[in-house]
Amino acid sequence: MDEPWIPVLDLSGRLREVSLRGLFADAGELRMLACELPTQSFAILRLALAILHRATDGPPGETAWRELWKQPGLPLSDVEDYLAAFRDRFDLLHPERPFYQVADLQTAKGEVFGLERLIADVPNGFPFLTTRAGTGMDRISAAEAARWLLHCQAFDPSGIKSGAVGDARVKGGRGYPIGVGSAGSLGGVYLEGATLRETLLLNLVPTGPGLLASDARDLPVWEREPHGPSEEPATARGPFGVLSLYTWQSRRIRLNGDRHGITGAMVANGDKIEWQDRQLMEPLSVFGRSGPREREAKRVPIYLPRPHDHTRALWRGLETLLPPPASGGSEPPQRLSPLVMQWLARLRVHRVLGDDFTVTSRAVSITYGVQQATTSEVFGDSLTMNVQVVSGEAELRTTVVDSAGDAEEAVKVLRSLAADLVRAAAGQGTDNGAADRAAAAAYAELDRHFRRWLARLGTGSDALAERRAWQRTVLKVVVRLGRDMIAAAGPAAAVGRVERDNGKDVHYCSAQAEAWFRRKIYKALELAFDTSAKEEVPA
């Protein structure tokens, strides 16, 4: 609460650490959380939001939230009073109630474990590709241990854990898998404003109709009795709301060490979490329908969190983040945009935020390895956009979604060219290696163009003109890459070969592949051309 442990960037770009109290007190002068991993920043943000939710009593409805937004700073007196009431529960090394831990946690053999159990970027058993080794694994500061403690509760992989004395689930000294940490199943999304104060308030979705569900039983972990080694009964643990979810104890943990350094950690199974239909409790995740669960339960819809596709940049799946336009259809949507994005759209519609307001959407999730027992990849991406893009009825939203689709269609054409050139040279049109490489090169270049184009959209932007400008950018990139591929195809592709295709002899060669490419790219990017003159694809 008092000692610095949270890495932040201030408005001058300087990296420093602040305490929990300092985080709220200096939020207007801080730019952002700046932890080692995006998932670590996400876990700490959820802790801060849980505190702010309680300090503001919800906040109860949009009117109460507006009052907070109008103030120059956060409600510091309320935050201070709240934290003071639970001061001893925020002590990392408290002898009886250590923060996010179980004081007397131990195995039957009294084993001592290293830091690899706690730190996510040190693969347990596979420490070959890591920047942390040797003496770097002997001891870490209490501040760093606090960060990894939150991260472990939120994102720890599944797999066999240490068997804690007093846990009835333990068999043969082992705790068998109960699933990943509480946030490990999420396709995390949060909003980032110009300052940390704006970030905290934008993600502080209030309770009320169409907003966060509320329940009197919903409390953060520090307002409840300290956990023991065993799993809590389902009727007692919930989750009952956002406070339960933000502070969920997926693991039972005990740190070894003192204020001068932490030398190890025991990590045992905690409370298993059920994420089905929590979309009105969890505001910071994408949710999607689960076909298997719907068939099993014989009801629709059933929603589960959906982690991000780590193989695609965020802009390529932007439509899943944005609230959809109003629809009169009776079929429940396949995807639900995060509640925090719906809240942002509501703020724009109700004119709480002006049409010139710019926000950054950050996406966070983890990919796990075999049987979710190891951390495979950490995903983090962001997009800066005008608030109008988030509104389901705004013309700019349609333009942005359609423009992302334009890029996808153009890359499909480029992939087709690559496959045709392979077939012309060697008759291996089913080998998609060349097509995959062409698509990767195109997306890599289009990525920076799209981000810049999206960031400059705003008040006064002409939707049709902007989409035409984007299509012309895509055209230049894809045509240049296509031209390079044709030139590199070589003499064999230039001469070509004849293949029987759908009962006809087709001559595959570079010239024919180029002709098909030009025709397809014209159809994919019609706005990029002067339709009155029907000009050709640039040479």
pLDDT 10s digits, 128-184: 445 565 556 789 999 999 999 999 999 999 999 999 999 999 999 999 999 999 999
Lowest mean pLDDT among 69-78, 311-320, 369-378, 525-534: 525-534
Residue 384 CB partners (closer than 8 Å, separation 6+): 358, 359, 360, 451, 454, 455
pLDDT for residue 517 is more than 90 = yes
Predicted confidence band of residue 498 (pLDDT cuts 50, 70, 90) = confident
**Among 48, 81, 269, which residue's Cα sits nearest to residue 147?**
48
Measured CA to CA, the distance from residue 401 to residue 398 in angstroms comes to 5
Q: Which sequence spans correspond to the domains of the chain? A: 6-390, 395-528
What is the average pLDDT across 390-404? Answer: 87
Residue 506 CB partners (closer than 8 Å, separation 6+): 498, 499, 500
pLDDT for residue 354 is more than 50 = yes
Measured CA to CA, the distance from residue 402 to residue 388 in angstroms comes to 15
**Cα separations (Å) of 350 from 63, 343, 357?**
11, 11, 13
Please give the pLDDT value at position 330: 77
pLDDT for residue 457 is more than 70 = yes
Burial class (CB in 10 A: 0-12, 13-18, 19+), 113: middle
Residue 102 CB partners (closer than 8 Å, separation 6+): 164, 226, 227, 228, 229, 252, 253, 254
Predicted confidence band of residue 519 (pLDDT cuts 50, 70, 90) = very high
Helix H or strand E encompassing 48: helix 38-55
More confident residue, 434 or 218: 218
Predicted confidence band of residue 510 (pLDDT cuts 50, 70, 90) = very high
Predicted confidence band of residue 79 (pLDDT cuts 50, 70, 90) = very high
CATH of domain 395-528: 1.10.132.100
Please give the pLDDT value at position 123: 56
Lowest mean pLDDT among 228-232, 434-438, 440-444, 515-519: 434-438
Measured CA to CA, the distance from residue 373 to residue 461 in angstroms comes to 48
Please give the pLDDT value at position 531: 59
Please give the pLDDT value at position 128: 45
285 bridge partner residues: 188
pTM of the model: 0.92
pLDDT for residue 124 is more than 70 = no
Lowest mean pLDDT among 112-116, 134-138, 526-530: 134-138
Instruction: Give the Cβ contact number of residue 28 at 10 Å.
Output: 15
